Chains A and B, each alone.
Chain A
Amino acid sequence: VKLTAPQNDEFEVSLFGHGRGECVLVHLSDGQWLVVDSCKDRATDRPVALSYLEALGIEPAEAIVLIVCSHWHDDHIGGLADVLLGAPDAEFACSAALQNRQFYRLAMGDAQVPMAGSSGVREFGRILHHFRVTGVGPLRSRGPTYWSTAHQKLRSAPCDVTALSPSGSSITTALTGFANFLKQGSQKAYTPRDIDANQTSIVLWLELGDIRVLLGGDLEETSSPNEGWKAIVSAHQRPPGRASVFKVPHHGAPNAHNTDVWQDMLDSDVYAILTSYAAGRNPRPNPQDRARICRRAGAGFCTSPAEGFTPRRRSSTTERTMSGPARNRRTRTGPLGHVRLRRGVDDPDGWSVEFSPPAFDICKA
């Protein structure tokens, strides 16, 4: 991937990931950038969004106009507070499910007595702290610009940016989850993994002329017609047209797959892009996930291998002793992969795709 800034009339979608983190940057044209989620580059310990723009010779504080936090899971929010501080004039949107007393208690409680494995809550706690104590910019002196819900337009120029989720029903479910967790949390604090943040993830629809992009966040499918992808596909307020780029939700996991999305909302030769998740027992996307995506997409690219990377070796004694209880060891994060699609706003030739290792073409692998 050549580190050259896009032209003013050039649309860009850049996806970054390293196995346990995701960040999307979109050049909306006219030098205006959208940042969706955040992860840190392990090499620099800085948010990828800031590093990439600076590498292109672009000043983040001037270029970033909108920051969206799709949800608060730790693989989507690493370094987001720093992005907010680095772009103090940008608007900020997060899920309306977080605009509630129970989540505030959770975040503030974590600051008092840290919960295990709660880095996502902790990062959002940092953001709330900035709002509450220090302020982060004139536009956000009173908090997020948008507590986003389905069908809310977040930006209209130079490019339409519309949230397609979370639905009201999903938010209600999340609020119940927070309240129930805190009943347990008052007894013993532990990580709130049983609150399904993915259901409140923000999905974005971007539209500029003929260019349409669907960014799927981590939204999953549920049995309820009022939640998840079913609610989006069936909504009459959904913008018309089909997207030519799709950020596949939830790292290609089958629980985020909805056939109607592929049939009704995407071009038949859509570019499917996704990040991997190497931190779970079932790393995603696995070969079945990749095959399912490639059957429906014109091309598919993933930022890094799902299987993770072999850890750096320690001394032979340590390695031998570790292997007693710990099997199947692999690193949770690897080098940062980058997939970039660019297209002139009026360019009939369509998208040009570049990717840098460990990103790879999932349909050829």
Chain B
Amino acid sequence: MYEPLSDDVLGDRFIDPSVRPGDDESPSSETRENAGSQTWVKISDIVKTHITAPFDPAPLVQLQSDLHHRTLNTWECVVMTAPDGSGDFDASLHDLSDPGFVDEMGTFNVCAVPAPDRDLIRVGNVFYFFTGSTIDKFGTIEHVWRLRFRRLPRWSRTDLTRVDAEANDLVEMLGEYRGETDSAAER
């Protein structure tokens, strides 16, 4: 029932909402804001779930392979628990497509995560959960989903320098705890 689709079927004519311009690994707020509407995603690692009757969806872009993919929903998820013995882990789900839905918790399995991302399944790390549909030239619709982990930006040297300057300001203003004999005294 589950069959991964390969990139070469679809070529490179996609925008991945989890990739920020100029950064091929991290999402930007700008692209994420668009994630719920008509966003096209790269569908490597997409897993087919099931097939339903043909439909007449919102505008689709014609792709080289006669396959069309449309992202319907995107969630930003945070890993809350490490995988257990059966590979299950819990994550929070924040709906980027419709903020009207409150955050949820869900249980995922490492098998659902693309192999290159599995070392990123750590508490606190972020991944994106896309659901959508593909339609082929015969009008057959497949509802598909995909998980993709966000690779967090590193703090640059400039970031750290700026942080140190601000931290120094705060140390000067607020002081530092020096142990039981010195601190925490009433200001």
Contact = CB atoms under 8 A, between A and B. Distances in A.
Interface residues of A, number: 64
Contacts of A138: none
Given A97-B177, A149-B180, A280 B90 contact: yes
Contacts of B52: 317
A178 B50 CA distance: 47
Contact of A149 (B143, B173, B184): B184
A99 B164 contact: no
Contacts of A280: 80-81, 90
A17 B173 CA distance: 34
A278 B169 contact: no
A330 B90 CA distance: 11
Given A109-B160, A328-B106, A331-B104, A99 B173 contact: no
B167 A108 contact: yes
Interface stretch (B9-17, B60-68, B123-131): B123-131
B67 to A, nearest CB: 17
Given A318-B72, A321-B143, A325-B145, A142 B173 contact: yes
Contact of A333 (B81, B102, B170, B187): B102
Interface stretch (A54-62, A110-118, A247-255): A110-118
B131 A152 contact: no
B58 interface: no
Given A96-B184, A104-B174, A331-B105, 4 more contacts: A113-B155, A128-B174, A145-B187, A322-B145
11 contacts: A101-B167, A105-B163, A109-B160, A115-B124, A116-B126, A148-B184, A279-B105, A324-B112, A327-B108, A328-B106, A332-B103
Interface of A: 42, 96-97, 99-101, 104-105, 108-109, 112-113, 115-118, 128, 131-132, 142-149, 152, 168, 171-172, 175, 185-193, 278-281, 308, 311-312, 314, 317-318, 320-322, 324-333
